[in-house]
Chain A
Amino acid sequence: MTPQVGAPLAVETRGLSKVFGSQRAVDDVSLQVPRGSVFGFLGPNGSGKTTTIRILLGLAAATEGEVRLLGEPMPGRGAVVLPHVGALVEGPGFYPFLSGRDNLRRLDAADPTTTPRTRRTRVEEALERVGLSHAAAKKVHAYSLGMKQRLGLANALLRPRQLLVLDEPTNGLDPQGTREVRHLVRSLSEDGTTVFVSSHLLGEIEQMCDSTAVMSAGRLVWQGGMEALRAEGRARVRVRTPDVAEARACLAGLGLEPDLEGPALLAAPLVDGVATEQAVAALVAAGVRVRGVEVSGETLEDRYVALTGEGFDVAG
């Protein structure tokens, strides 16, 4: 039996939670990953991305909640679903005393549904696809971190997959390698593969993905199309004036919440019902010397930081 090809969602979770001791590493996460999408799973270190992925793949049991992968419940139907899923979880894992090629052959043989007859060619194709053909005969202990990462990707590509789950696939790669991964993901997506890719780097997700979910401290804080996330950011108005105190009072009177961004620069997120020209008219009427006005959209980064919190505190 193959997984339900018609199921509209490649990954679906309902109320997924995972408790480690007293910590809720994953807390009530309900994901919906549409088929055919390149889905970015974004969140700072320790926000619960890898733990969620382990539960999706049946490596760890959820404390609460349900998972469906390609329409089938996990972990119950893992034997049926997982052959259609390629995965890279928390970095690559290989036998250092075997060559890259032999590692792939062994992992391919571990799946009882693969065809031994085509193993040789499939392994070579996967190596070729990640640019490792020249190092295929080398023992993995002689591989650099980036080469191991590529070998991990090759393992996920050993057969045609309906879904790829890639946990931080560009970790350890140089800029060139990062670009190659982006190209790879794009070409796989064009072939119809759903790609679920996690990262703590906004820029990476922004360039690769068409939808995204944002995690923060185990909770899902946003989910939807990449465009929607961009559009959701509120515009900010910046007013350059020497009369900071008066301008602040005037803007506050309109219902805005101005912050001092520089010695003579106030900035406030625009709110519904207050047009920029209204604000300027009010400032001028109040006798504020307005020397410059600028309206800018919130950057995606501002939005990400607003969602996940700032600073270097790693959850945990």
Chain B
Amino acid sequence: MLFGRRRTWAMLAALALVPVLVAVAVRIEDPGRDGPPFLGSITSNGLFVSLTAMTVSIPLFLPLTVGVVAGDTIAGEASLGTLRYLLVAPAGRLRLLAVKMAGAAAFCLAAATTIALTGALVGAALFPVGPVTLLSGDTVGLGGYAVRLGLLVLYVALSLLGLSAVGLFISTLTTVPVGAMAATVVLAGAAQVLGQLPQLEVIHPWLFSAHWLGFADLLRSPLDLGSLGENALLQLAYLAVFGSLAYGRFTTKDVLS
């Protein structure tokens, strides 16, 4: 259903544009050592396009699209008047929430995959491709790089689960989808701002955005999955808390739309 919508594909297309822009910009003018991480490495190895594109998308683009999808889950159905028909079908309120959360998670995975794959393809088309030098100085072949890119996609998709759960909860509070989308995106921004204030250091590990850019461990040798595990725990905790809140709210809510 989510993937039967033109809007979903438009957002994925917009995400695919990020690596394309990165690659084309570097092609036109070699950046030297300035700019976002990995950018300077692109001219020597096109595979780095994926990493650069992912890094620049994480703070804004990815949360934006995830906010739209997660904020729309319940409020979107309510505003179309389809929510009441789903419930008398009867879809079951818990089941509906679970399906909606699963849809949002699938979108997170699709979004991260889109950026990684488009990046690799565009990079390979515009630049030389070869064994990749990792942050630890070791070099891996294409197969090894593919594994790490797969893990990176998983990491980023996982990173966005907490935000999706928050969006799902907000979506049960209103019948105005745009409101729920905006609130979710604003929270994503707020979490990142809070994450940059040193005075609030105590809460930093608890922000859902705490590990968003912490995927460097995946690009070292030997492979360290510690940060992936930590991030997974945090995101699952958000999923549990906000999933429960959404459940508590949605199963007792009068559907009057």
Contact = CB atoms under 8 A, between A and B. Distances in A.
Interface of A: 54, 57-61, 78-79, 82-83, 85, 87, 89-98, 102, 106-108, 110-112, 155
Contacts of B5: 97
A61 B89 contact: no
Interface of B: 1, 4-6, 80-92, 95-96, 252, 254-256
A112 B90 CA distance: 8
Contacts of B82: 93-95, 107
B255 A111 contact: no
Contacts of A96: 80
Contacts, number: 73
A112 B94 CA distance: 13
A93 B80 contact: yes
Contact of B88 (A61, A82, A91, A94): A82
Contacts of A94: 80-82
Contact of A57 (B1, B80, B88, B91): B88
B5 to A, nearest CB: 6
A85 B88 CA distance: 8
Chain A binding surface, main DSSP class: loop
Contact of A79 (B83, B86, B90, B252): B90
A96 B5 CA distance: 11
A91 B1 CA distance: 23
Given A59-B254, A61-B254, A110 B80 contact: no
A155 B90 contact: no
Contact of B84 (A61, A89, A102, A111): A89
Given A54-B256, A97-B6, A59 B84 contact: yes
11 contacts: A57-B84, A58-B87, A78-B90, A82-B88, A89-B88, A92-B81, A95-B82, A96-B80, A98-B4, A102-B4, A110-B89
A85 B85 CA distance: 12
A50 to B, nearest CB: 9
Contacts of B252: 61
A102 B88 CA distance: 18
A40 B80 CA distance: 28
A82 B89 contact: yes
A135 to B, nearest CB: 19
A76 B5 CA distance: 34
B92 A93 contact: no
B87 A93 contact: no
A149 B92 CA distance: 24
Contacts of B92: 79, 112
Contacts of A102: 4
Given A92-B81, A96-B80, A87 B254 contact: no
Given A59-B255, A96-B80, A155 B85 contact: yes
A260 B5 CA distance: 66
A54 B91 contact: no
Nearest to A96: B80
A60 B251 CA distance: 10
A95 B1 CA distance: 10
Contacts of B91: 110-112
A87 B4 CA distance: 26
B256 A60 contact: yes
